[in-house]
């Protein structure tokens, strides 16, 4: 892609989508965030603004840089506004039908012959999303980690169809433009990080479910005994218990290994709307946001 990627679109303005948009805007890119409607688009703008303000207050960012980043980001309720993008990153809910619908629509809307369509999925097959388009060679996994402005890692996930040109373009974008560190994964459920992380989280949940130890003791054991910055149940709350279930189900569907199956307690908590930090209560009672 001559001159590199300078025009970026993000579909979905939730926690992950807003974070991706923020790092793109801070890198000086022309950034458009698309949500389902104007109301959701305004909420996405508020998320980015709050995050930028937090970075300023904590001394990580100059106020002028935050102001400029927000000014160069457009928030819209129409996918049509992504037509001229060189890269579009899908960051909608971790649901295969929802993501497939987005990719089918983007295939018709995004005009550039070399434009890359990327997914921020945590676990779903990139191939499935690519095959919803007529340009599977230009579809790739670009998996950021929460919080996107802070964590340096991006997983680049290639399907059997992803071209070498597409892979090179997104790796250059992630490393040179955004300043992230890239690791590569084949198109397997969970990729590298979640294939290792989620069984660990599920083991901690089973331990709490069985009464073996309390949530506080499980987390304290891993934080103080293994020097983990955050215990597994706190981390599950941060990720969102509904997202943990979705990733676990994708892993189990692919590998059929029992340790990937979501425990009953986790499923009941999701059904009860106890999703972790986002709702203020999960394995711990916590501040929302």
The CATH classification number of 194-271 equals: 1.10.1040.10
pLDDT category, 1, cuts 50, 70, 90? low
Pairwise CA distance, residues 119 & 127, whole Å: 11
Q: Which residues are annotated as catalytic?
A: 122, 143, 155, 194
What pLDDT, on a 0 to 100 scale, did the predictor assign at position 288? Answer: 56
Q: How do residues 126-182 score in pLDDT, each as one tens digit?
A: 999 999 999 999 999 999 998 999 999 999 999 999 999 999 999 999 999 999 999
> With b meaning 16 or more CB within 10 Å and e meaning fewer, what string describes 251-267?
bbebeeeeebbbbeebe
The DSSP symbol for 122 reads: S
Question: Which listed CATH number (3.40.50.720, 3.40.190.170, 3.30.420.40, 3.10.180.10) goes with 7-186?
Answer: 3.40.50.720
Q: Could you tell me the pTM of the whole model? A: 0.91
104 — pLDDT class (breaks 50, 70, 90): very high
The ranges of the chain annotated as CATH 3.40.50.720 are: 7-186
Pairing between strand 116-119 and 30-34?
A: unpaired
Share the mean pLDDT of the chain: 96
Residue ranges of the chain that CATH labels 1.10.1040.10: 194-271
């Amino acid at each position: 892609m001559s001159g590199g990627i300078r025009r970026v679109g993000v579909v979905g303005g939730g926690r992950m989508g807003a974070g991706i948009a923020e790092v793109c805007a801070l890198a000086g890119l022309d950034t458009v965030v698309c949500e389902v409607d104007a109301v959701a688009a305004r909420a996405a703008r508020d998320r980015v603004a709050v995050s930028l303000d937090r970075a300023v207050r904590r001394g990580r960012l100059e106020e002028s840089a935050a102001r400029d980043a927000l000014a160069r980001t457009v928030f819209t309720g129409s996918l049509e506004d992504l037509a001229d993008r060189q890269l579009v990153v899908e960051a909608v809910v971790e649901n295969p039908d929802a993501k497939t619908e987005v990719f089918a629509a983007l295939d018709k809307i995004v005009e550039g012959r070399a434009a890359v369509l990327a997914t921020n999925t945590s676990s779903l097959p990139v191939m499935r999303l690519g095959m919803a388009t007529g340009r599977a060679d230009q579809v790739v996994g670009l998996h950021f980690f929460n919080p996107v402005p802070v964590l340096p890692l991006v997983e680049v996930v290639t399907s059997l169809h992803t071209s070498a040109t597409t892979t090179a373009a997104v790796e250059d974008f992630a490393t040179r433009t955004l300043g992230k560190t890239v690791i590569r994964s084949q198109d397997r459920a969970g990729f590298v990080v979640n294939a290792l992380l989620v069984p660990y989280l599920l083991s901690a949940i089973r331990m709490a479910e069985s009464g073996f130890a309390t949530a506080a003791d499980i987390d304290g054991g891993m934080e103080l005994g293994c020097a983990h910055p955050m215990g597994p149940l706190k981390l599950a709350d941060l990720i969102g218990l509904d997202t943990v279930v979705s990733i676990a189900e994708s892993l189990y569907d692919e590998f059929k290994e029992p340790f990937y199956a979501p425990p009953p307690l986790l499923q009941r908590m999701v059904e009860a709307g106890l999703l972790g930090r986002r709702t203020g209560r999960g394995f711990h009672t916590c501040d929302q946001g």
